[in-house]
Copies of this chain bind each other. A is one copy, B any other.
């Protein structure tokens, strides 16, 4: 195909408008761009339409498409344009703006349909009739302004081929089934309460186990690299954030508190400023450097209700945060250590990682703290490390944190979606603002550098990703319950209890189901909770001195001695499989 997909999608929005204007007399078309995976167009309609009407509009689009030869452009004056759209107040508003800005006004015509447009269309031959589809109808305010007219938006999907469209739809279907907002409560991992509030998840025993396992895994990787745990309060006087610069750059996102004595406090949206105050408790010798502080702790941000979504966007989220305070000459070693942790951690989940070097936006210097020279030093240092690591890093201009550049890691999940996960941030600004130093070999105060290094980032967000990645079927090591022991009949209960104790002693998390539920229900519950293994104990098993092992993923494994089951599963769990 010679036309770009974006041009095809844009052309389809014209086609959509042509179809709607023919089908709904009096309809006024407004704006219709290409978007990710497709396109949309907003209309003022005199009758309400719904998803049920889309098939018919689609057919009309395909019919009109056959009559189109191409897009003919024509530059016109403001007066001419206004004549063409005399009965469409939306287009008139747009034309007035173009006149004000003294911009060129162009009309594009295909078949009998003419639109006000900047251009960028496909060859008609490149628009594949069965590679697009209308998706859904939604409401949208004119120009996104809730004080203005409510319009009808029709979304469409469009790809280069029918196969690609189907693959996309299948992925969406799969993603819906895996939605963590649905799976989380079904697997009893977390819950929300109307009394506590949206965006504030409550963690059940099962979910808490998963959180601890993840956090312990990260800690084991850090601990062997000389990190130490610290602990901080979730609030602070405003003064900390005035010094750090958060108050200035970040004020609207803070939960603010006025104490009974009138002091101004805030809840922490990140942990770096607090950690500087632990570092600053004493004068350090160069011999004591680096200091590496790890701390899994909850951060709070005053997100707007409309932006909250399950665990993906919350008002409370735990960060597995760490800050390394080091000398400039130690930066490379310390960044590489974090890089190693990230590369020990993510592949365990089957995530492949891409790297992005996120630097400041030279066009928006007001978004960042500190001196441009410091930024150049820091960005070059990270660039060198990326080069040395021999990875292909994407350019992330404008993606830096406000205090420094970052190396970001992006993971691809089991259904092909990309997520930004870990990040290594180099910060020469906080140490400047908090006057953090060590005494060097010459007895002089030397400015230190800070490396921000969360591995999962937000535990909530990471959990939302892996719940969907695994479709809730966690691998053995990460499953809240690893083995369910199911006696077939009540008379097998005693043996089930013994077997359960043996598996527990092997370090496994075991659920022994000696309830008075029937055998079928017990097994079904194991499936519902996606428990990796079920150990079944019937009369014959007891006679033979074995148990029957079933795997969630591999089906029936068969009769085994319980000691062998314990050893097998303990090994699999320890290897994080």
* Interface residues in chain A, defined as those with a beta carbon under 8 Å from any beta carbon in chain B: 185, 188, 191, 193-197, 200-205, 207-209, 211-212, 228-237, 239-240, 243, 252, 255-261, 263, 265, 267, 273-274, 277-278, 280-282, 287, 293, 298, 300, 302, 304-305, 315-316, 318, 515
CB pair B195 A515 closer than 8 Å: no
CB pair B298 A233 closer than 8 Å: yes
CB pair B281 A191 closer than 8 Å: yes
Nearest CB of B to A323, in Å: 13
Nearest CB of B to A270, in Å: 14
Q: How far is the CA of A241 from the CA of B231 in the complex (A)?
A: 27
Nearest CB of B to A178, in Å: 21
Nearest CB of B to A368, in Å: 22
Known A-B contacts A195-B239, A261-B304; the reply to A515 vs B255 at CB < 8 A is no
CB pair A237 B274 closer than 8 Å: no
For the complex with contacts A203-B231, A234-B298, A252-B260, 18 further pairs of A-B residues with Cβ separation under 8 Å are A191-B277, A191-B281, A200-B236, A202-B277, A202-B278, A203-B232, A203-B278, A204-B230, A204-B278, A211-B231, A212-B229, A233-B298, A233-B315, A234-B316, A235-B267, A235-B300, A257-B257, A287-B515
Q: How far is the CA of A143 from the CA of B389 in the complex (A)?
A: 74
CB pair B196 A208 closer than 8 Å: no
CB pair B195 A236 closer than 8 Å: yes
CB pair A205 B229 closer than 8 Å: yes
Nearest CB of B to A250, in Å: 12
CB pair B302 A259 closer than 8 Å: yes
Partner of A230, one of B208, B236, B239: B208
Nearest CB of B to A248, in Å: 15
CB pair A233 B196 closer than 8 Å: yes
Top 10 nearest A-B pairs (CB, nearest first) are: A205-B228, A203-B231, A193-B277, A233-B316, A191-B281, A197-B237, A195-B240, A200-B233, A208-B229, A196-B236
CB pair A202 B267 closer than 8 Å: no
Chain B residues within 8 Å of A243, by CB? 195
CB pair A305 B257 closer than 8 Å: no
Chain B residues within 8 Å of A239, by CB? 194-195
Number of copies: 2
7 inter-chain pairs at a CB distance below 8 angstroms, sorted by A residue, are A197-B236, A200-B235, A205-B228, A231-B318, A235-B300, A257-B267, A260-B302
Can you name the residue of chain B whose Cβ is closest to the Cβ of A300?
B235
Q: How far is the CA of A234 from the CA of B202 in the complex (A)?
A: 10
Main secondary structure of the interface of A (DSSP, over half): mixed
Chain B residues within 8 Å of A195, by CB? 236-237, 239-240, 243, 273, 277
Q: How far is the CA of A193 from the CA of B276 in the complex (A)?
A: 10
Chain B residues within 8 Å of A185, by CB? 281
Q: How far is the CA of A265 from the CA of B301 in the complex (A)?
A: 13
CB pair A202 B257 closer than 8 Å: no
Chain B residues within 8 Å of A318, by CB? 231
CB pair B256 A191 closer than 8 Å: no
Chain B residues within 8 Å of A236, by CB? 195-197, 200
CB pair A209 B235 closer than 8 Å: no
Known A-B contacts A260-B252, A277-B196; the reply to A234 vs B234 at CB < 8 A is yes
Chain B residues within 8 Å of A300, by CB? 233-235
Chain B residues within 8 Å of A212, by CB? 229
Nearest CB of B to A230, in Å: 5
Chain B residues within 8 Å of A277, by CB? 191, 193, 195-196, 202
CB pair B205 A235 closer than 8 Å: no
Chain B residues within 8 Å of A293, by CB? 205
CB pair B281 A233 closer than 8 Å: no
Nearest CB of B to A551, in Å: 26
CB pair A208 B231 closer than 8 Å: yes
Q: How far is the CA of A191 from the CA of B263 in the complex (A)?
A: 21
Known A-B contacts A260-B304, A267-B235; the reply to A240 vs B196 at CB < 8 A is yes
Can you name the residue of chain B whose Cβ is closest to the Cβ of A243?
B195
Q: How far is the CA of A240 from the CA of B263 in the complex (A)?
A: 25
Nearest CB of B to A388, in Å: 29
Chain B residues within 8 Å of A298, by CB? 233-234
Partner of A228, one of B201, B208, B235: B208
Can you name the residue of chain B whose Cβ is closest to the Cβ of A193?
B277
CB pair A202 B302 closer than 8 Å: no
Nearest CB of B to A480, in Å: 10
Can you name the residue of chain B whose Cβ is closest to the Cβ of A277?
B193
Q: Identify which of A211, A234, A318 gathers the most chain B CB atoms within 10 Å of its CB.
A: A234
Nearest CB of B to A244, in Å: 9
Q: How far is the CA of A304 from the CA of B259 in the complex (A)?
A: 9
Q: Identify which of A185, A193, A207, A273 gathers the most chain B CB atoms within 10 Å of its CB.
A: A193
Chain B residues within 8 Å of A197, by CB? 235-237, 263, 265
Can you name the residue of chain B whose Cβ is closest to the Cβ of A316?
B233
Nearest CB of B to A370, in Å: 19
Can you name the residue of chain B whose Cβ is closest to the Cβ of A295?
B208
Chain B residues within 8 Å of A263, by CB? 197
Q: How far is the CA of A235 from the CA of B199 in the complex (A)?
A: 11
Q: Identify which of A188, A231, A263, A298 gathers the most chain B CB atoms within 10 Å of its CB.
A: A231
Partner of A237, one of B196, B229, B515: B196
Q: How far is the CA of A191 from the CA of B229 in the complex (A)?
A: 15
